[in-house]
Amino acid sequence: MSKTILAIDFGTSNSLVGAVCGGKRIEALPIDVGAPDPTLMRTLLFFPDGDRCFYGSEAIKRFIEVDCEGRLFRSFKSHLPNQRYLGTMIGNRALPLEDMIGIFLLEIKKRAEALLGTKVTRAVLGRPARYSMDDVADGFAVHRMRKAAEFAGFGEIEFVPEPLAAALDYRRKIQTEKLVLIGDFGGGTSDFTLIRLSSANFKKSDVLAIDGCPLAGDALDGVFMSHRLNRFFGARAKYRMPMSSNHLTMPNSVIDCLNKPAHIVHLKERATYAFIQEVRKCTQTGEDKAAVERLQIMIDDNQIFPFFEEIEVTKRGLSLNSEWKFNFDYPGLEIQEKFMRADFVSWADPIRNEIFVAMDRTLTQAGVQDNDVDLVFLTGGTSHVPFIRKQFIQRFEATKLNAETSLHSVLSGLIEHAANLS
């Protein structure tokens, strides 16, 4: 049996892999040579048809080359705790969620094996502190991830909470014992660990509390749709079905998909798409008909991914500027909107509150007050959002806040854990 262990940070937005081989740490492997950072592979799957699949930067490239035909999936990790979501159809073939994730993990495994020159059957996988606030749904998500890892060919699988992995990485930078709060903010979850860190050997008792919530970068992207942009795609459309006198509005199930980066792709599912076509025929005003037609164009011409990419650009723009112009110029979907940072902060307030409620639970579990914390380390892309960082500065002294965020911290901690197993 191979002594090599893969460490996999399977993220909602990006994924990374490292290894421990013969007791030697091997940091982030360049698994996506076409990406700006080859060690960061976008968590994307693109099926141009039922027989082929592309991954990461190649998925985007091929998607553009075929004029956005086919099925492109992003943020599919977010579906794990949803017991009602079984998977999707690719052509006439059913693709369960466990297989979708397994296909992606298998590709990561193959690329890592090619770089390492050995077959690998052992894996340490990161997992959020909470896939869901519901314990049953959280356990269901872990079960599905294990099935996906088994599909990918891993026989020995160990899960490590992602905030704990980040803490294990930061432990190497600590000279004297400190009480440290780790915040790990990704695309799908915000996770916290309160831990005593020192240069001494790590003990499980050093971990005082772990908690989190299933809200992060994707949820922040969604507020632009729910508060402003979804009206262009029929969210407020009214319609009347044949032989009925009742005026209806777009169902919440469709609006909910429209607002979420991980869910909007499923508007293309056969039954939902047929319903949208029927709504278009039954709208009562030209404005509503035009809005539902835009939704059809977005689905038919596969503009969902580019549209949410522009939302991501807007979110980042508002991190540096007080206002930002959203500009999407695809024929039939020409939309220009000016967004103000103050509005974004207001819209995101419920999400921010939930994130910090999760942090408060972490402190409460350990019986710790804000002023007891010696250091605060933040990691993940969403930790760069100014109003997130600002609240940390308000809650803790600015001198306690580590300003150096790294997308590799979780992976480094997973490698550290794998090294302790080898």
**Confidence check: pLDDT of 328 > 70:** yes
How far is residue 331 from each of residues 231, 259, 301, 344, measured CA to CA in Å?
Answer: 18, 22, 10, 27
Percentage of residues in the chain having pLDDT higher than 70: 98
Q: Would you state the pLDDT for residue 202?
A: 72
Predicted confidence band of residue 403 (pLDDT cuts 50, 70, 90)? low
SS3 299: helix
367 with 209: CB under 8 angstroms? no
**Tens digits of per-residue pLDDT, 157-202?**
999 998 888 888 877 777 788 899 989 888 888 999 898 987 777 7
Q: Do domains 5-163+411-421 and 176-215+348-405 have the same CATH topology?
A: yes
Distance between alpha carbon 160 and the CA centroid of its chain, in Å? 17
What is the token pair recorded at 69?
């035909």
**Confidence check: pLDDT of 110 > 70:** yes
Domain boundaries, the chain: 5-163+411-421, 176-215+348-405, 218-344
**Confidence check: pLDDT of 64 > 90:** no
Name, in order, each residue with C-beta under 8 angstroms of 252's C-beta and a sequence gap of 6 or more. none
**Tens digits of per-residue pLDDT, 229-254?**
999 999 999 998 887 778 889 999 89
Q: Would you state the pLDDT for residue 244?
A: 75
Q: What is the mean pLDDT of the chain?
A: 90
DSSP 319-372: HHSSEEEEEE--TT--EEEEEEHHHHHHHTHHHHHHHHHHHHHHHHHHT--GGG
Name, in order, each residue with C-beta under 8 angstroms of 57's C-beta and a sequence gap of 6 or more. 32, 34, 35, 41, 42
334 with 307: CB under 8 angstroms? no
Q: Would you state the pLDDT for residue 404?
A: 58
What is the token pair recorded at 116?
């390492």
272 with 254: CB under 8 angstroms? yes
Predicted confidence band of residue 405 (pLDDT cuts 50, 70, 90)? low
**Confidence check: pLDDT of 45 > 50:** yes
What is the token pair recorded at 340?
């103000």
To 5 degrees, how large is the angle CA 407–CA 405–CA 223?
Answer: 75
pLDDT, mean of residues 396-414? 81
Amino acid sitting at position 150: E
Dmax over Cα atoms in the chain, in whole Å? Answer: 76
Determine the CATH number of domain 176-215+348-405: 3.30.420.40
Choose the CATH number for 5-163+411-421 among 3.30.420.40, 3.40.50.10860, 3.20.20.70, 3.30.450.20.
3.30.420.40
